[in-house]
Amino acid sequence: MKKILVLIAVSCFFRAPGCFAQNTEDLNLGKEPHKRTALGVDELLRKNDPKSYKAITTKTPFMVVANYRNGKRWRYFEGDVFRFKTRDGRYFEEDLAFIEDSTFTIYKYDGSARRMEQLSFRADEVSSVYKYKRGGVLKTGLLSMGPFVPMALLDWGLYNNPPHKNKDFLWIAPIVGAGNILIFKHRNLFNKQKLGNNKALKIVVPL
């Protein structure tokens, strides 16, 4: 028995730090509802809204895009991908290397110089923030309309019905294209967050 206890203790020692301090979810596995332990506020927040939990517990500055009209917030921490457009029209999609009290820094590869370039920006230099990767909306619509083109050309050749007069082609193809955009690219329709009266980018410094 002593050997078994020693083996268990050693295995716990070399395992990740959770052998003795299990989280509430692990302790509740297999238990009847009335015997389960309620999740703590920290555990619930960490599970359901990890970004908010990180904002509360972090000791380093982070960035927030605030929509004052609907109260939504998008938080960005060091290491997150930040997609933005500057007021002089430059677009960047890079990892956040550093966030300081009044500036944030990214590293971007300069193809002409063949080296990494360090760029720093102030929050007021950003004109727009993108929640997701840009582009792809028009391409998705056109590709989904592609299969109808040979059919329209066939009608043109067999029945002398050119595509610009083919009612079936002019109605069905755009509907299919728009439907595929709504299904697969609906997020990109509201991707751009233009900063201005109701939206702002701020750097938050934890106390």
Instruction: Please state the rounded mean pLDDT for residues 20-34.
Output: 49
**Integer Cα distance of 203 and 82 in angstroms:** 13
- Check residue 199 and give its pLDDT: 93
- Check residue 17 and give its pLDDT: 44
For residue 14, give the amino acid letter: F
Q: Is the pLDDT of residue 142 over 90?
A: no
Q: By percentage, how much of the chain surpasses pLDDT 70? A: 67
Contacts of 59 (CB under 8 A, 6+ apart): 206
- Check residue 139 and give its pLDDT: 63
Question: Mean of the per-residue pLDDT values for the chain?
Answer: 76
Q: What is the pLDDT of residues 76-91, one digit of tens each?
A: 999 999 999 999 999 9
- Residue recorded with tokens 């960490």: 46
**Domain boundaries in the chain?**
51-131+191-204, 137-187
CATH numeric code, 51-131+191-204:
2.30.30
Q: How many helices (H) and strands (E) does the chain have?
A: 8, 9
DSSP calls for 38-89: PPPHHHHHHHH-HHHHHHHH--S-EEEEEETTTTEEEEE-TTSEEEEEETTS
Is this structure's pTM higher than 0.95? no
Q: Name the least confident of 12-21, 24-33, 76-85, 91-100.
A: 12-21
Q: Is the pLDDT of residue 196 over 50?
A: yes
CA distance to 5, 7, 8, 11, per residue, from 1 (Å)? 6, 10, 11, 15
Band (pLDDT 50/70/90 cuts) for residue 106 is: very high
